[in-house]
A = this chain, B = another copy of it.
Amino acid sequence: MEVLVPFSTHRPKSRLADALSPSERAAFARTMLADVLAAIDDAGGTPRVLATDEIGSIDEFEMGAGIDPTARPTLPIDPPVTVDDRPLSDAVNAILEERRPGEEVEAVAVVMADLALATPEALERLFGGVDQDGRGTETGPADVTIAPGRGGGTNALVVSHPRFRVDYHGASFLDHRRIAAEVGASVRTVDSHRLATDIDERADLAELLVHGDGAAATWLREAGFTLVADGGRVGVVRE
């Protein structure tokens, strides 16, 4: 199954500004992308990066920012990159539109690049609802499979319905259910903490330190972040 991985090269992870510098955020976003691509590959998916600009420009940015090149992760696999500088929904829908020859379309997945906790097992649960021809299987038949993100978002989905389109603005999980209903597409949700946890804000870094074991978690630990008890939930401090 083709798996689109949207990746913004323009001021990535700006909501982590209270934890990381701009050049650090760029490097950290890149490590998360590397983790996500590796997990997709392990889960049997075929990743394709949907970037707002050439991926190479991040390398240049990092080099310009003086980031240690040895600390800059290389991508574990070499996926094709499609550059589209339009807003996320437009860029994804352009690709969904491409594959509409008729009622028979192949399933396409969209997995966010900041799901640094995604494991092959979690992604297999996402991909598992459709067979190799993109049709629903007995274990999870659905035209649209959604892994909700925390705060009403859509962190990952699989689309095997020809008329379903995405709308990532606002509470997209609810919007995607509505859109599916409008085009008569069945919906399955994947109940996964790992897929629900996009790494967007400072508090999310604690989640990565607790549960992560990939390049992004290692990067964060090497950058000096550790867990700290913070009332109810644990938070992070930087040493």
A154 to chain B, nearest CB (A): 11
Cβ contact within 8 Å between A152 and B227: yes
Contacts of A151 in B (CB 8 A): 203, 206-207, 232-235
In the bound complex, CA of A235 to CA of B152 (Å): 9
Q: Which residues of B have CB within 8 Å of A227?
A: 152, 171, 174
Interface centre among A151, A153, A231, A235 (most CB of B within 10 A): A151
Q: How many residues of A contact B (CB 8 A)?
A: 33
A37 CA to B150 CA in the complex, in Å? Answer: 24
Copies of this chain present in the complex amount to 2
Whole-angstrom CA separation of A72 from B96 in the bound complex: 48
Say yes or no: is A15 at the interface (Cβ < 8 Å to chain B): yes
- Pick the residue among B152, B171, B191, B229 that contacts A121 (CB under 8 A): B191
A234 nearest in chain B by CB position: B152
Using known A-B contacts A194-B191, A200-B232, determine if residue A210 contacts B152 with beta carbons closer than 8 Å: yes
